[in-house]
Structure formats: C-alpha cells, structure tokens
Amino acid sequence: MEIIQRPKGTNDVYDETGRTILYIRDLVESIAKEYNYNYFRTPTFERTEVFKRGVGDTTDIVEKETYDFVDRGNRNMTLRPEGTAAVVRSIIENKLYVNGINKVWYFMPMFRYERPQSGRLREHFQFGFESFGTNSPYADAEIISIAVKILKGLGLKGIKVNINSLGDIESRNNYREALKEHFRPHLDNLCSDCKERFDRNPLRIIDCKVDSELEVIKNAPKILDYLNDESKKYFESVKKNLDILGIEYNVNPNIVRGLDYYTHTVFEITAEIKDFGSQNVLCGGGRYNNLVSNLGGPEYPSVGFGMGIERLMNALSAEGIDFGKKEIDAYICYISDNEKDYAFKLLNELRNNNLRSDMCYTNRNLKGQFKECDSNNTKFVIIIGEEEKNTEVITIKNNNTKKEYKINRNELVEFIRRNYE
RNA sequence: GCGUCAUUGGUGAAGUGGUUAACACACCAGAUUGUGGCUCUGGCAUGCGUCGGUUCGAUUCCGACAUGGCGCCCCA
C-alpha cells in the first residue's frame, strides 16, 4: 500500500526532538513565572481580517504567505501566521485592557506558505511574550532581557542583540518622505522588488539584499536622524535600561522588520553559529503602540517578541547542546514469569512515589531486560527472582557504580532517593 | 514564488545497464538456564523516493511529479 507522506514543510516530533521541545517549553514557562507573565492561547485560525488589518495587507506575510480557506459557512479564514495580531484581537474582544496591565506569553503553531528550508517551515512553533499597557522604556528592556535570558538559559553563546528605533508615526512619516525624495531620481537603478517597495513601503528598500551594494542605498538617509525629540529620548532610555540590566546590544539602523505594526523599538536576536544557514534570526520583536487601536481597541501601547522553536533547536544541535536524553530512576528486571506479578506491583509502588520507572512486559530474557536498562539510561536496576519474591529482600544495583545491594523492600524508595548522587 | 543540487535499509553510506545490492552502526536471536554494555555465531533492502519512457533487460539513462538541502525573496 502506498505510504502517505506528511505535508511539505511540516514535521513529526518524537524522541529527542520531543524531549528537547518539552525542555525548552519548561524553561520558557519558568522564566515567564519569574517575570510575572501569564499563559495565553488563541485559536489556530482567525477571520482573515485579523491579519490583514493587524499585520498589514501590503506585507509579504499577508500578501503571499498565508494559508487561507473559506469555511463551509463562506467565511474567509486564515491559519495564524504570527502570534501578536491574534493575541491583540483577543485582548480587544475580551476587553482585557480594563486590567491596565497585561503581561502574557504563548507557545503556539504558526503557518506560512513558503518554500521550506532548514529553519523555515510551513508549520512552525513559536513562543512569544507581550507586555501590554505600559508605554515605558523599562518594558522594552524587560522584553529584550527575557529573550536573552531564555537563550542564555539554553546554553547558547554568540548571541547578538540588534536594536533600532522606527520612532513614532510623525518620525516615521518624515523619514518615509525623505527616503522617497532620496530614491526618486535613482528609481531606474533599483531592482524590480525595490521599485515596488518605493510606493508601498520605502523603508524596506534599505535592507534589500539585491541592491545593498549600491551607493544610493549606502548613503540613504538614516532613520535615527529623523526621529523627533520625543522618539529620540525614548530610544535613549531603552538603551540606558538595557545597560542597567547588563545586556549588550548593537544599534543597527537597517532593521526595519517586515510587519507593519511596529513603532519605536525594533530588535532582532541572531546566533553567530558556524554551519548555520541563512535563517539565523532566532528572535524578532519590538514595540507596537498603535496596533490595538488599529484593530478597534483603545490606545493600548505594547511591546513583545516571538521566537521560533525549530531555529532554536537547530542552534542547539549546531552547538552540540543536548537536552533530549532519555532517563529514568529505576528499571525492574525479573528472572522468570513467576515474579512478573510481584514486579508489576513493585513498579506501581515506585511510580506512586514519583520515581520514573519501568519494566518489560514482553517475555525477554535477563540480557534483553538489561539492554532496556541501558537504552533508558537507568539509574538503578532492581532484580527480582524467586528469592526476592519470597523474602521481601530487594536486590538493587546502582547502574553508575555497578555496586549491588540487598535491602529490605520497605527501604527501597528511600534507598533510591538517598543514593541519587 | 525563483534558481540550484540531491533522494539506496531504522541510521551512515559503497556500488553497477544484466544472475545473491558491499561495509559499518543500530536492532533481533543464540553462545551464556539469576546479571547487560567486551568477544564470537546467525538474522536483518524480493528492494535502490513515486509514476511513466528508452532498452532484450534499469536501482543505474531520460521525463514528470513528490520530498529534502543550499542560495534568493521573506521571516521565527
């Protein structure tokens, strides 16, 4: 029979990958608690409008990368391509802004119809943090510090924080006009993509890779020169707050981001890892003071980031960092079928005492059972034969030291805990 | 979406237009009837991404499709 393959750009998760994802998730959750962020989840699909109006309908993501479908009730739906717009829709719909402050985190699948590559999938998982209700540069620094803490907590080195400011609407419009003035006489020299961008989104011209060597681009006006006093002051405060937290960063005026909703602070965190492909941006985010009001809510300033799990795992494996190791506390080996019931009962006792433990239910010989111990990275091997069954004495072997002990059955749990290195 | 390279078992792979598709790891069984990770013996692709074509004959040549890698666009 024909074997059915998974859809292009998707992944099955099991074994090491599964364990690694759970490890990352646990770390993210514990850091979220430290920073007082609350778990958030939105539907996997939304009305298409959420992303058209939220992310911006001239962005590449919305224009050519969404998974759209019409449901049986003739409604236009879109599989969530990114988290922020969806969370904002929910904040507005549930009127959560009445709380004043909302600090939330999520861990959800995202969908983008693109040509797959390592670190770029059609279904990928992202976690993200969003801090709503504070128009304070402390919040920007907090958000960036969370991202850095997670990456460092995973043991990654060579982490680079690149930040920039797009300023407020006024600054951005001034800059937009200045760019258009600058490029207008040189339009013929730009690539076809950039000619498109000229009218719709001239900011994107400056980080075009095709034209990056052109003089017109190199000497294009810089956003930082067009920030008004307030925006300038805000950016300075963000940098000062990063200094307070001891976070190193580079100001990179070419970061403009592909989502329309950003204002003021934008940032990207990259990994300088050898043999890493072009998809090396592990984390991207920034401030979006107008998104909530653009989607029909009140003025509700916010800042946040998203981070892709698959790229993170690529970085971890490139660095030789492994969280995917299997491990259990105890494995029960039995000599013959006569001891199976006894072993099964003992196994249940261990599990009721929160010890990770297992035994083999199929009839494997002792050698096979010991092999199971190895493949599970077992700390303690318990051997049950006729003698043990009749005398309530347990034979237990520390699998690291290989030393064997005879102990009383009722001391078993305590013994394992005490000898746990 | 564009360009380019690739696709042999659970994994890493060698190989050839023609009778049994190397080798290694992993896995399974036994040597070893209460103790594994060493050693030895045996087993393990009726099959070389899928479908067509050329051919007396194709895993090997050609085409389409599928999937993956790299680069671009974009982004996590």
- A6 CA to B29 C1' distance (Å): 35
For residues A369 and A61, the model is more confident at A369
pLDDT band at A344, cuts 50/70/90?
Answer: very high
Residues in chain A: 421
Tell which strand B nucleotides have any atom below 7 Å from a protein Cβ.
Answer: 1-3, 27-30, 32-37, 66-76
Nucleotide showing the shortest C1' distance to residue A339 CA: B34
Task: Please tell me which of A65-69, A187-191, A269-273, A320-324 the model is most confident about, judged by mean pLDDT.
Answer: A65-69
- Residue A408 and residue A267 share a domain: no
pLDDT tens profile A45-56: 999 999 999 888
pLDDT tens profile A6-20: 899 999 999 889 999
Give the C-alpha separation, A59 to A112, whole Å.
Answer: 13
- Residue A363 and residue A306 share a domain: no
- A38 CA to B46 C1' distance (Å): 58
Sign of CA dihedral A289, A255, A162, A128: positive
User: What's chain A's Rg over C-alpha atoms?
Assistant: 28
Q: Which residues pair with A162 in a beta bridge?
A: A250, A268
A1 pLDDT higher than 80: no
Per the domain annotation, does A201 fall within a domain?
A: no
- Residue A369 and residue A282 share a domain: no
- Residue A142 and residue A66 share a domain: yes
- A277 CA to B71 C1' distance (Å): 10
The residue to which tokens 């059955």 are assigned: A409
Question: Looking at residue A278, what is its pLDDT?
Answer: 76
- Residue A106 and residue A244 share a domain: yes
The residue to which tokens 């075009």 are assigned: A208
Give the domain extent around A371. 328-418
- Residue A150 and residue A69 share a domain: yes
* Number of CB atoms found within 10 A of residue A117's CB: 11
pLDDT tens profile A214-259: 777 777 888 889 999 999 999 999 999 999 999 999 999 888 887 7
Nucleotide showing the shortest C1' distance to residue A370 CA: B36
pLDDT band at A362, cuts 50/70/90?
Answer: confident
Nucleotide showing the shortest C1' distance to residue A210 CA: B72
- Residue A60 and residue A139 share a domain: yes
CATH of residue A355's domain is: 3.40.50.800
- A185 CA to B52 C1' distance (Å): 55
- Residue A83 and residue A49 share a domain: yes
Which residue stretches of A303-385 are H helix? 309-318, 340-352, 366-375
A421 pLDDT higher than 70: no
Question: Looking at residue A304, what is its pLDDT?
Answer: 97
Angle at A341 between CA A336 and CA A347, to 5 degrees: 105
pLDDT tens profile A90-123: 999 999 999 999 999 999 999 999 999 988 999 9
- Residue A271 and residue A131 share a domain: yes
- A386 CA to B1 C1' distance (Å): 69
pLDDT tens profile A121-155: 999 999 999 999 999 999 999 999 999 999 999 99
- Residue A105 and residue A247 share a domain: yes
Query: Does the predicted TM-score (pTM) go above 0.95?
Result: no
CATH of residue A132's domain is: 3.30.930.10
- Residue A131 and residue A47 share a domain: yes
Closest CA to A28 of A228, A265, A307, A273: A307
- Residue A45 and residue A121 share a domain: yes
Question: Looking at residue A132, what is its pLDDT?
Answer: 98
pLDDT tens profile A378-406: 999 999 998 999 998 999 999 888 889 99
Nucleotide showing the shortest C1' distance to residue A121 CA: B76
Name the domain count of chain A.
2
